[in-house]
Amino acid sequence: MRPRAMTKLTFGAAAAATLGLLATLAPTADAHQPSGHKPELKRIGYFTQWGIYGRNFQVKDLETSGTAAKLSHINYAFGVIGADGKCLMGNAPGSDPWADYVRPVDAATSVDGVGDTADQRLAGNFNELRELKAENPGLKVMISLGGWTGSAHFSDAVRTDAGRKTLVASCIDTYIKGNLPVDGARGGAGAAAGIFDGVDLDWEWPGSDGAPGNVIRPEDKPNFTKLVREFRTQLDAYGRSLPKAQRKHYELSAYVPTAPAKIDAGFEVSKIMRDFDFVNLQGYDFHVSGEKTTAQQSALFAKNDFSVDQTVRAWLRRGAPAHKLVVGMPFYGQGWTGVTGGGDGLGQPATGPAPATWVAGSEDYKHLKKLADSGTYKLHRGYRNGHAWLFDGTNLWTYDDPTVLRTKASYVRQNGLGGAMIWSLDGDTANGELITAIDRGLSRR
């Protein structure tokens, strides 16, 4: 699971208190119709490269769970920006060619039921995504560049026009044209052509603190705008250069923050939104388990605090079109242990992150569902605020369940927003309980 730490800020605007205000939040959506299975609203899910290991979450699971049929886009996390200012694959932290395209997938794990052979040029996750797209016509796959631990080199790479051109060209060469490094029989020119339908920028964060050690500059803000323009220019040029029958529009998106200070430090909103097809709003990690007091991590509404509604309003006020705003929704929870003070546990002191399956303080929904069903924890709901939490007197988990996600999907529909984004698909149950709730909520009339 990708951490989404951020600087906590206090801001004065109180969020809306009731769902009755939903219809007045945003302008009516225009005739923009995104592509995919469900053309009316986007359903975007992050697939984590590393989820194939400990979690044993394979591309095939998206098919057997019914998830793929409910998605418009898959964001593949992550592509790596190297110290040389280029998209690279290989000798760099976060890069895993074995998972991406080298690893042979057996018949039982393969989407199409046929195992990879030794002489295939493309294997691993990339080949499975190709098979998944064949089973689900219209499904798009985006390469997500960066991430929390992979944004260290963005600022250096985009300081000059030449640097931006080099970075963008290298990313298009690797992922859109599919020119992969040769690894035995795998890779080579065009080996991954046709897998990726666009680029998702996950620079966390231009102009403000991200992971420790990231370079931050005031000029990141205008340089990010220029980077977006360069991606739009080169993607469009490549799409037009293809043979007439293959010409296409390659999509461009970004993952963007909730905190107004982070938005203002790094994003010229009205300018970048002209070049983006859509942006994915941070809709989670409003509070995290490293804090000393328990709190909501993903509430739809909250007074004098971060919330989905606050995030949407912040981007609208700065000039973002409603139909290009996709609301992030978590398939995991944030948890605390050593909670004291009684009551329902929320807003109380805690001693640290709660024990969890993979990383202390962060737990997949499929495991939280078991806690909710165990009888040990009591489920609490902020009905007016759109969030839920579990509390057993000592441990507290704040998370989204199907009820919360249906409420958020209703919010998206009623306000003419662009759809829902999920971090991350491996947190759902084997039968796709959460994606089904989102899909049904977005489809209702």
Structure confidence by residue, pLDDT tens digits, 345-361: 999 999 999 999 999 99
Q: Exposed e or buried b for every residue in 247-282, given b needs 16+ CB within 10 A?
A: eeebbbbbbbbbbbebbebbbbbeebbebbbbbbbb
Structure confidence by residue, pLDDT tens digits, 143-187: 999 999 999 999 999 999 999 999 999 999 999 999 999 999 999
Q: Concatenated DSSP letters for 347-395?
A: T-B-SEEPP-SSBTTEEEHHHHHHHHHHSSSEEEEETTTTEEEEE-SS-
Q: Are 37 and 72 in contact (CB under 8 A)?
A: yes
Give the CA dihedral 334, 336, 339, 344, nearest 10 degrees.
Answer: 20
**Pairing relationship of beta strands 419-423 and 42-48 according to DSSP bridges:** parallel
Question: What is the model's pLDDT at position 239?
Answer: 98
Which residues is 278 bridged to in the sheet? 253
DSSP letter at 15 equals: P
Sign (positive/negative) of CA torsion 94, 97, 101, 102? negative
Q: Are 292 and 350 in contact (CB under 8 A)?
A: yes
Q: Are 68 and 135 in contact (CB under 8 A)?
A: yes
Q: Which of 19, 99, 21, 113 is nearest to 63 (CA)?
A: 113
Q: Which helix (H) or strand (E) holds 144?
A: strand 140-146
The residue written with tokens 């080298």 in the block is 102
Query: Which amino acid is it at 212?
Result: P
Q: Are 178 and 100 in contact (CB under 8 A)?
A: no
The residue written with tokens 């963007």 in the block is 256
- The reported pTM is 0.92
Q: Are 336 and 361 in contact (CB under 8 A)?
A: yes
Q: Which of 131, 265, 271, 152 is nearest to 202 (CA)?
A: 152
Question: What is the model's pLDDT at position 325?
Answer: 98
Query: Which amino acid is it at 58?
Result: Q
For 185, the token pair is 């029989």
User: Can you identify the CATH homologous superfamily of domain 19-334+401-443?
Assistant: Glycosidases (3.20.20.80)
The residue extents of the domains of the chain are 19-334+401-443
* Separate counts of helices (H) and strands (E) for the chain: 12, 17
Question: What is the model's pLDDT at position 90?
Answer: 87
Q: Are 85 and 164 in contact (CB under 8 A)?
A: no
> What is the spatial distance between Cα 308 and Cα 329, in angstroms, rounded to a whole number?
9
SS3 call for 328: strand
Q: Which residues of the chain have pLDDT under 50?
A: 1-39
> What is the spatial distance between Cα 431 and Cα 429, in angstroms, rounded to a whole number?
5
Question: What is the model's pLDDT at position 40?
Answer: 77
Q: Are 148 and 204 in contact (CB under 8 A)?
A: yes
> What is the spatial distance between Cα 199 and Cα 144, in angstroms, rounded to a whole number?
6
Q: What residues are annotated to the active site?
A: 204
For 256, the token pair is 């963007």
